[in-house]
Amino acid sequence: MQRTKIKVEPPGEKAKKIVEDTQRYLSPSIQRFYPFVIKKGKGAIIEDVDGNKYIDMNAGIAVLGLGTAPDPVIKAVERQIRKFIHYSYTDFYYENIVTLAKELIKITPGSFEKKVYYGNSGAEAVEAAIKLVRYYTKRPRLLAFIGSFHGRTMGALSLTASKPAQVRGFSPLLPGVEHVPYPYCYRCPFKLTYPNCNLYCVDYIKENLFQKYVPPDEVAAAFIEPIQGEGGYVVPPDDYFKKFFNLMKENGIIVVDDEVQAGMGRTGKWFAIEHFGVEPDVILIAKALASGLPLSALVSRAELMSWPPGSHASTFGGNPVATEAAIATINTIRKMKLLENAEKVGKYMLKRLDEIKEKHEIVGDVRGKGLMIGAEIVKNKETKEPNPDGAKKIIEYSWKHGVLLITAGISTLRFAPPLTITEDLVSEALDIVEKGIMEAEKE
């Protein structure tokens, strides 16, 4: 049964009016992919203000892990709102933040003792982590990766390195941040080939940073994404992080794992780093944590949280309503076996996309884990030249024909549907996306 339904060519008249008013009254700093205006949704089906229905391949930028308007979360929120909406956890106590902390400690990797700090967003979690690692180590420097995205507030922005527009005009940024190449094997910055490269991108850090101009004993932490998000849904080789973590451990450098986009079951495990057999010192969680309500969590080794009372806090962090939503989200992922569904449906999606890649010259690479999948669009497979215009045409075609899809990196199609999505919905969506690929290929 077809789930998509385009009644009027998008954007319809209602959408156009809202877009016009948005441009008139809201900050121009926010960039949209195309003029889609949501009215409502359920699960992986979204309806716009003009009555068109779409299959959701965005999940609100990997936020709506349970899909739009999940009943268990709605019920949990309703119950909490009737009790109390807010009573700042920075100054007083309430029970459900402890309940959630215990759950987060249980599902995050590492059998060591942990503690939890709450904020409102991924960027806030990153800011907290910067302060935490500097306070604990008394070291001033930080490492991050080229292609990374950690947020747009000033500290987080200093770690971000995915698009020039994100940093242009805002310097000077936080001092002491060094960026190193990410293991992007499809576009190796060293023009090497895995596995013959012996993971030179780790050796590069040792030989060219630590032995030449960045004293490793001054580096507090390395901030990583286990799978790069905004950088293009880039998946490292399976053995990369073991070698990287060993180098950091040799030098007493804390590893902060930013799971803001990859976490909460998106890759078929609670956290993407679990695919690589290593245990980070700090994990940052946001986006899908509370199924769309603002909440983030920093979970760290207990001994790292040595900062004193008053040194860091957030009035709305750990908001009781968002906290109940997060508890319901975790329970629902377990009850509905959504980790297993993400793995199963993700394998199906990867297979279909690999088949599409074999048929079409402009699909250069397909990569991902679970339901975090990228398909890189190129001019042709031989040169691998990025094709942002082609990628833009594909996502616009998909939108106009019933699939909500966006890009990541320079020209990668970003597939991040709700964890509840089914194979038949994925099949219908990919049929439409492939037609978009064919149209872009003609041009």
Asked if the model's pLDDT at residue 89 lies above 90, the reply is no
Q: Are 187 and 147 in contact (CB under 8 A)?
A: no
- The full DSSP string for 288-309 is GGGTTSS-EEEEEEGGG--PPT
Candidate CATH numbers 3.90.1150.10, 3.30.1490.20, 3.30.70.270, 1.10.10.350; the one for domain 13-62+337-442 = 3.90.1150.10
* Residue-level pLDDT at 62: 98
Cα 380 to chain center, whole Å? 28
Q: What is the mean pLDDT of residues 321-334?
A: 98
pLDDT bucket at 43, cuts 50 / 70 / 90: very high
* Residue-level pLDDT at 342: 98
CA distance 423 to 437: 20
Asked if the model's pLDDT at residue 321 lies above 80, the reply is yes
Peptide bond into 215 cis (omega under 30): no
Note whether 13-62+337-442 and 72-335 share their fold: no
Asked if the model's pLDDT at residue 2 lies above 90, the reply is no
* Residue-level pLDDT at 436: 98
- Convert the pLDDT of each residue in 261-280 to its tens digit: 999 999 999 999 999 999 99
Which helix (DSSP H) or strand (DSSP E) does residue 285 occupy?
A: strand 282-285
Say whether 117 sits in a helix, a strand or coil.
strand
- The full DSSP string for 141-174 is EEEEETT----SSHHHHHH--S-HHHHTT--S--
DSSP state of 401: T
In this structure, what token pair is assigned to residue 21? Answer: 């008013």
Domain residue limits, the chain: 13-62+337-442, 72-335
β-strands 45-48, 38-42: how paired?
antiparallel
CA distance 370 to 273: 13
Q: What is the mean pLDDT of residues 366-377?
A: 98
Asked if the model's pLDDT at residue 435 lies above 90, the reply is yes
* Residue-level pLDDT at 289: 98
Which helix (DSSP H) or strand (DSSP E) does residue 23 occupy?
A: helix 13-25
- Convert the pLDDT of each residue in 166-212 to its tens digit: 999 999 999 999 999 999 999 999 999 999 999 999 999 999 999 99
- Convert the pLDDT of each residue in 203-241 to its tens digit: 999 999 999 999 999 999 999 999 999 999 999 999 999
Asked if the model's pLDDT at residue 1 lies above 70, the reply is no
Q: 443 exposed, middle or buried (CB, 10 Å; 0-12, 13-18, 19+)?
A: exposed
CA distances from 84 to 78, 93, 99, 316 (A): 10, 13, 17, 13
CA distance 150 to 261: 10
* Residue-level pLDDT at 28: 95
CA distance 271 to 288: 12
- pTM score, two decimals? 0.97
Asked if the model's pLDDT at residue 83 lies above 70, the reply is yes
Higher pLDDT, 1 or 126: 126
Q: Are 94 and 320 in contact (CB under 8 A)?
A: yes
CATH code for the structural domain at 72-335? 3.40.640.10
Q: How many residues does the chain have?
A: 443
* Residue-level pLDDT at 261: 98
The 10 Å CB-count burial string (b at 16+, else e) for 344-376 is bbbeebbebbeebbeebebbbbbbbbbbbbbbb
Q: What is the mean pLDDT of residues 247-261?
A: 98
